[in-house]
Amino acid sequence: MLTLATRSVRQRPGRFAATLLSAFLGAAIIMTFNSMHDTAGAPGVDSVSAETLSTAAGVVGGYGTLLVFFAVASTLTVNVRQRSAEIELLRCSGATPAQLKRMVVGEAVAVALVGALLAIGPAMLGGRVLLDVFQDSGQVAGSVDYTFGPIALYSGLDITVLAAAGAAFLAVRRATGGRSRSRSRSESRSWGRGRRFLVLGSLVLGALSIGTTFVLSPTDAALMAPPAYGAILLSVGLALLSPGLLRALLGRLPLTGPSGYPAVRGLRVRVAELAGVMVPLTLFIGMATATLQMQGVENDAIHAAGVPKSVDAKNLETLNLTVVGIIVVFSCIMLINSLYAATTYRRKEFGQQRLAGATPGQVLGMVGIESLVLTVTGVVLGTGAALAGIVSFTTVRTDAVLPERGPGVWLGVVAVAVAVTMGTSLVTAWRVLRTPAINAVAPAA
């Protein structure tokens, strides 16, 4: 099966492009920031510079690890789902579930390793640029030389490969979940219990983290951490709840016509598969809105106090803006990968609709309505998670309830989310519709 996995990657590299891109960017980010650990541990680095570099590596490295797993998991899940017919054929030919797992995991590990190795060069350049940013802002001494060492290299390789192997194992486990109906139902109940545990754990820990904000003082250096982590956990919990919320919403949408009715019906059928879209969408809106708004509140409070920013305050601002940048890049990649793969996979469905009488414009309208429903749901869930963190931080820091800057940051974040979601879905659907309908429904050679 490992030989089959290697042959599959060589013969059809296009199917692994999304996973390769996710692994490449994830490894680049992890190695870029973990090279700050190597730089901080080099001889002759002063304690203040070493602390700044280590803090940046620790905070962003943790975010990066989670984002790499989510990005690779989302692309691999779609990849395995698209290969359901191939996997079923292998099972009918005598392959056991264990052999199929080794094949898919072997493919994922090979692709992730290639992506991580390709990321070494860009990570070295990115680390130098990041060190220059810290030095230009006065947070790191100008005499500190950049070092790319074993911490950066091995963390990037290990985390990317392990994330790919774990995500592939979980994806193929669901695809080869059992031959009998009773076993399938048992595994579905087990998966449902696992999802409920994750949802409950994320929401409870998020609420506790946000509640911790109120026991800190307004000038505490760690004041922003609890509401930020709380917003992240709430975003994850609400994103995992989104399939159930979408089901309830779809039952009340009065959409009819040649585009509206098939859009609602299609979402109902695929609602369990939409977590790959809702998780990055909700995370992006919740984390970006909360972090940027809270940083704005902090800047206004420091300005109102009439004191210069301390080194710690500058470090925190740099980290926050860097984290938001990573969130934007990775969330957009996850969204684009998931939407592109999911929409391309519907080529046969679109062809059947056109052969039944639907026009290309009606199919595009259906895709647009689906994307709009998903976007609105993600915006509502992400905004709710962000507000919980923003209100708690603003209340403690300024005695106000909401930031004074208004909804400008939120509108900007929502605009990016709408552009990515709607743009990717519609452009991909338009490209798919360029294939003649009779060719779209024909079996692949």
Residue range 246-264, pLDDT digits in tens: 777 776 777 677 777 777 7
- Residues 276, 372: Cα–Cα separation, whole Å: 16
Residue range 3-44, pLDDT digits in tens: 544 455 444 544 567 778 778 888 888 898 889 999 999 888
Residue range 162-213, pLDDT digits in tens: 888 887 887 777 656 544 444 445 444 544 566 677 788 889 999 999 999 9
Residue range 311-326, pLDDT digits in tens: 777 777 777 777 677 7
Q: Is the pLDDT of residue 141 over 50?
A: yes
Per-residue confidence band for 444, with pLDDT thresholds at 50, 70 and 90: low
- If 0-12 CB within 10 Å is exposed, 13-18 middle and 19+ buried, where does residue 49 land? buried
Higher-pLDDT residue of 278 and 34 is 34
Percent of the chain with pLDDT over 70: 83
Residue range 186-198, pLDDT digits in tens: 444 544 566 677 7
What per-residue confidence (pLDDT) applies to 9?
Answer: 47
Residue range 417-432, pLDDT digits in tens: 999 899 988 998 898 8
Nearest to 295 by CA among 210, 394, 217: 394
For residue 59 the two structure tokens come to 């905070």
CA within 13 Å, CB half, 152: 31
Nearest to 242 by CA among 371, 144, 411, 374: 374
Q: Is residue 267 a contact partner of residue 373, using CB atoms and an 8 Å limit?
A: yes
- Which pTM was predicted? 0.76
> What is the average per-residue pLDDT within 361-373?
88
Residue range 370-412, pLDDT digits in tens: 888 889 889 999 999 999 999 999 999 988 888 887 888 899 9
- Residues 110, 164: Cα–Cα separation, whole Å: 9
Q: Residue 238: what residue type?
A: L
- Averaged confidence pLDDT in the chain: 80
What per-residue confidence (pLDDT) applies to 181?
Answer: 44
Nearest to 54 by CA among 30, 32, 38, 67: 38
Nearest to 340 by CA among 362, 381, 371, 372: 371
